[in-house]
Amino acid sequence: MKHWKSIIASLLLLSSGTGIVNARQYHFSPDKTDELKRLVSSGSLAPGDEVILADGVYRPGDFNFFAEGTSADTITLRALNPGKAIVSGPVKMRIYGSYLKVDGLFFNKAWASGFSMIEFRKDKGVNARHCRLTNCVIDDCNDPEKSEKPAPPGHLPMSVAEYWVGLYGENHRVDHCYFANKRIGGLVLQLWLDENSHINNHQIDHNLFGFRQPYGGNGAEIIRVGHSWSSQLESHAIIENNVFLHCDGENEIISVKSCNNILRRNLFFESRGGLVCRHGHYNVIEGNTIVGNHLKGTCGIRIINQGHTVYDNLVCRTDGWGLLVRVGVFERPTPETDIKAEPLTSYHRAENVDIAYNDFIDCRSMELGSGKGEKMPRNVRFAYNNIYGDSFDMKVSRPEHTLGGFYFLDNSYGFSDGKTIPMTGFVRTSVPSDHFTNERNRVLGLLTDIGAAWYADNNAELAYISNKYK
């Protein structure tokens, strides 16, 4: 116990939902990092305990946070002053056990010493449950060996995958965090599913995902839910009330690759990519707002696969399509499909999709049935949508084969250049005069309580968006 001499342990009497418990507070400063690591990995922390990091720069390297809290009494690892406990250097942080919370840490000039910087598991098959990452910032965390050194000829300087956060297990929450300036390939946030652990109920909410520079290829999404090989599994994640600003890494900002997820009330602002249902079925895309401001590479919602609901989204001023319903190459895979075989990684027929009550304002185009393949969309209802703007291009690929798969009902449109959509189910009206007011109210309403409020860049980015509506 010698090395714990420096620990100030104070016994607190806390009343909790389960009655009176003895909860301790342990205080550490950067010069006691070894003692800190021993305590938080020991499994000896009890429900209600708090481990509190004093101001300073911590270089923890490999770092396990393992304990068993309870639903009434979480075990917390937090900064004494949010943002003043800075985590730097190579990091391999593994959070496992249950009911653990990480609060107020500032990851800056840190990077993954292995494949990913933070994982919610010990190792393969030993996953965490009910853990939370909140009020944290991960900004400019790139391995200098990979991101700053001159690349060999023919290679991107940052063409190595390095993940920031990997969620394994179930019932985790990532909220009120700020993430920005990832330059190396790999995900900001990956939800991992496999046959033994896929219904996860994770909640990703009120985060601000800031600038990610164009990567130059695939593999620089901000959030991916599953993978092609796990895409036929139920996931049940909720991604809501997040803001994505200048997320320019690649053409997918969120890539959904699993079933039964909900993505709602997110704001995508001037981000050069789209919200993509790439694999998996029965996902709900509802109440999201996408504002492209005509920047190159901005686009809307891309739909592939079956059973999705796309309701009440507002898509404004995208340089590319506001909506794309792709043609399939294969039918829907079965549970027996070989996970390594092409049918799982390819494109499947879009079928039984409901796209209704969405507004598309000043988007360049809409694409129905585009792409290579012969599996035309089937039973897609497109109803009560509004399409307005200066001009618009409704692109229907191979209409003689494509249109039979759509049911168009009571959609309204109006374009300043007088263009028409000469299809059944579309009615031409005048452009509503209040659509900018609607957009303004909707965007400003989505900027409340987002990200880590203690971080200046976080607030400057929110102000950047709100200033666009002054």
Residues in touch with Ca ion (CB under 5 A):
218, 252
- Compute the least distance from the CB of residue 346 to Ca ion, in Å: 14
Q: What CA–CA distance (Å, rounded) separates 441 from 446? A: 9
Q: Which is nearer to Ca ion, 218 or 391 (CB)?
A: 218
- Compute the least distance from the CB of residue 255 to Ca ion, in Å: 5
**Angle at the Cα of 27 from the Cα atoms of 180 and 43, rounded to 5 degrees:** 85
**Which single residue brings its beta carbon nearest to Ca ion?**
252
Place of tokens 């618009």: 392
Nearest CA among 275, 258, 285, 283 for reference residue 318: 275
- Compute the least distance from the CB of residue 270 to Ca ion, in Å: 19
- Compute the least distance from the CB of residue 278 to Ca ion, in Å: 8
Helix (H) or strand (E) holding 33: helix 33-41
Q: Which is nearer to Ca ion, 176 or 224 (CB)?
A: 224
Q: Which is nearer to Ca ion, 239 or 421 (CB)?
A: 239
Q: Token pair for residue 45?
A: 């922390």
- Compute the least distance from the CB of residue 221 to Ca ion, in Å: 5
- Compute the least distance from the CB of residue 336 to Ca ion, in Å: 26
- Compute the least distance from the CB of residue 180 to Ca ion, in Å: 19
Backbone angles phi and psi of 373, in degrees to 5: 135, 170
Q: Which is nearer to Ca ion, 133 or 276 (CB)?
A: 276
Backbone angles phi and psi of 339, in degrees to 5: -65, -15
Q: What CA–CA distance (Å, rounded) separates 184 from 112? A: 11
Q: What CA–CA distance (Å, rounded) separates 90 from 87? A: 9
Q: Which is nearer to Ca ion, 133 or 187 (CB)?
A: 187
Backbone angles phi and psi of 438, in degrees to 5: -60, -45
Nearest CA among 368, 356, 361, 364 for reference residue 389: 361
Alpha carbon distance, N-terminus to C-terminus of the chain: 60
> Could you tell me which residues come within 8 angstroms of residue 128 by beta carbon, excluding any fewer than 6 positions away?
95, 96, 97, 98, 100, 120, 121, 168, 169, 172
Nearest CA among 104, 116, 95, 4 for reference residue 58: 104
Q: Which is nearer to Ca ion, 250 or 270 (CB)?
A: 250
> Could you tell me which residues come within 8 angstroms of residue 307 by beta carbon, excluding any fewer than 6 positions away?
281, 282, 283, 351, 352, 353
Q: Give the number of other CB atoms < 10 A from CB of residue 33.
A: 18
Q: Which is nearer to Ca ion, 56 or 297 (CB)?
A: 297
435-445 helix and 456-467 helix, angle to the nearest 10 degrees: 170
Q: Which is nearer to Ca ion, 64 or 271 (CB)?
A: 271
- Compute the least distance from the CB of residue 218 to Ca ion, in Å: 4
- Compute the least distance from the CB of residue 445 to Ca ion, in Å: 30
Q: Token pair for residue 368?
A: 């129905």
- Compute the least distance from the CB of residue 410 to Ca ion, in Å: 35
- Compute the least distance from the CB of residue 69 to Ca ion, in Å: 36
Cβ contact 376:397 at 8 Å? no
Q: Which is nearer to Ca ion, 228 or 365 (CB)?
A: 228
Q: Which is nearer to Ca ion, 104 or 273 (CB)?
A: 273
Q: Which is nearer to Ca ion, 7 or 275 (CB)?
A: 275
Q: What is the 3-state secondary structure (H, E, C) of 343-396?
A: HHHCCECCEEEEEECCEEECCCEEEEEECCCCECCEEEEEECCEEEECCCEEEE
